[in-house]
Amino acid sequence: MKTWLRELPKVELHLHIEGSLEPELMFALAARNHIELPYASIEEVKAAYDFSDLQSFLDLYYLGMRVLRTEQDFFDLAMAYFERAHEEGVVHVELSFDPQAHLGRGVELAIPFEGLRRAMREAEQRFGMSTALIMSFLRDRDASEAMTVLEKASPWYEVIDAVGLDSAEVGNPPAKFAAVFERARALGIPRVAHAGEEGPAAYISEALDVLDICRVDHGVACLQDEALVERLRNSQIPLTVCPLSNVRLKVVETMVDHPLPAMLEKGVKVTLNSDDPAYFGGGMLDNYVACFDAFGWDQRVFKQLAGNAIDVAFMSDARRRELV
Ligand code: ES4
Ligand code: ZN
């Protein structure tokens, strides 16, 4: 089954490229850029990745990404991920990045944009992959800062496939970003948002109502609200679920407790994704295999899940026809 899952053409819709930074590359970039890390060894880094919740992860995620300073760093980061994803049978990747986490360190917008774009073009040529770019806003910072970033990103509007919303969820409800997302809508940029990861089902409804998003990132809290489940089923708005992430951040206790089977049962359009593969113990293939181990799904279910992602990906219709 693992061989079959590797060969199944998979589509990644929820990947924080900064969360694909493996400890080995973190050390290499720290040396290249003369940045001190609070870790003595790669083993020490891995031992530190023992999270109690989303915030305990975010603290180390923002710490690790300080080694990313140049366009070449972002290129190397994304290329390393594309190579691994290609080996795992991933045929389309939508990478999100957090410009505010870099701007705050003096790394101008052009650096991630140009480095990531160059890696995306190279992956398309070398691996025949398709790719898309999502610019995410940090919800635990002021909405005015997100608005400034959106305006400053105007030279790249053509290469932004969507804007997103991530970071610490509880206490930072979607409505805080109503004006930013309205501006993105006016610019014709599609919108996605993390909702219902650690936050309540009400944040999912609010993101749909106020931010007019076309996909929900995570959304695992939807089962708390029957009417919302009904809405998600009827609208077929997709959820980008990240099972290994949910286990590592203690959103669920173990894989077998994960709500994925219930979500499928209720007819919600779910997809499988890796979130922050360097921090959560695995990429796309590991997430698929973990679901097989926990739920014993047959090939039909995995084809459905991969097919759902193809249906809702930011890709050309010609590319979609190639993949179905
Ligand atoms: C994230 Cl797992 C997760 N949740 C919210 N924000 C994030 N940023 C990077 N990974
Ligand atoms: Zn995420």
pLDDT tens sequence across 27-43? 999 999 999 999 999 99
The answer to whether residue 210 is domain-embedded is: yes
16 Cβ inside 6 Å of ligand 1: yes
| pLDDT at site 171 | 98
Structural domain containing residue 174: 2-317
CATH code of the domain covering residue 190: 3.20.20.140
Distance separating the N- and C-terminal Cα atoms of the chain = 21
The set of residues, in sequence order, having a beta carbon less than 8 Å from that of 158 and lying 6+ positions away, is none
The answer to whether residue 178 is domain-embedded is: yes
Q: Is 197 a catalytic residue?
A: yes
| pLDDT at site 224 | 97
Q: Which two tokens stand for residue 287?
A: 């997430």
How much is the ipTM here? 0.98
Residue identifier of the C-alpha nearest atom 1 of ligand 1: 167
The answer to whether residue 248 is domain-embedded is: yes
CA distances from 87 to 115, 125, 211, 217, 283 (A): 22, 15, 36, 25, 11
Binding region: 14, 16, 194, 275-276
| pLDDT at site 219 | 98
Domain count for the chain: 1
The tens place of each residue's pLDDT in the chain, 324 residues long, gives 999 999 999 999 999 999 999 999 999 999 999 999 999 999 999 999 999 999 999 999 999 999 999 999 999 999 999 999 999 999 999 999 999 999 999 999 999 999 999 999 999 999 999 999 999 999 999 999 999 999 999 999 999 999 999 999 999 999 999 999 999 999 999 999 999 999 999 999 999 999 999 999 999 999 999 999 999 999 999 999 999 999 999 999 999 999 999 999 999 999 999 999 999 999 999 999 999 999 999 999 999 999 999 999 999 999 999 999
How far apart CA 155 and CA 164 sit, in angstroms, is 18
The answer to whether residue 106 is domain-embedded is: yes
| Cα 284–chain centre separation | 11
| pLDDT at site 213 | 98
> What are the CB-based long-range contacts (under 8 Å, 24+) for 150-153?
150/180, 150/183, 150/184, 150/187, 152/109, 153/99, 153/109, 153/113
How far apart CA 257 and CA 267 sit, in angstroms, is 19
Q: How far is the CA of 166 from the centre of ligand 2 (A)?
A: 6
Binding region for Zn(2+): 14, 16, 194, 275
Rounded to 10°, the helix 299-312/284-295 angle is 140
| pLDDT at site 297 | 98
Nearest by Cα to 74 from 100, 110, 41: 110
117 Cβ inside 6 Å of ligand 1: no
The answer to whether residue 323 is domain-embedded is: no
The answer to whether residue 324 is domain-embedded is: no
Q: What does the CA dihedral 264, 300, 305, 201 come to, rounded to 10 degrees?
A: 0
The answer to whether residue 34 is domain-embedded is: yes
The set of residues, in sequence order, having a beta carbon less than 8 Å from that of 92 and lying 6+ positions away, is 11, 12, 129, 130, 131, 132, 309, 310, 313, 315, 319, 323
| pLDDT at site 65 | 98
Count the alpha carbons within 13 Å of 101 in the hemisphere toward its beta carbon.
28
The answer to whether residue 283 is domain-embedded is: yes
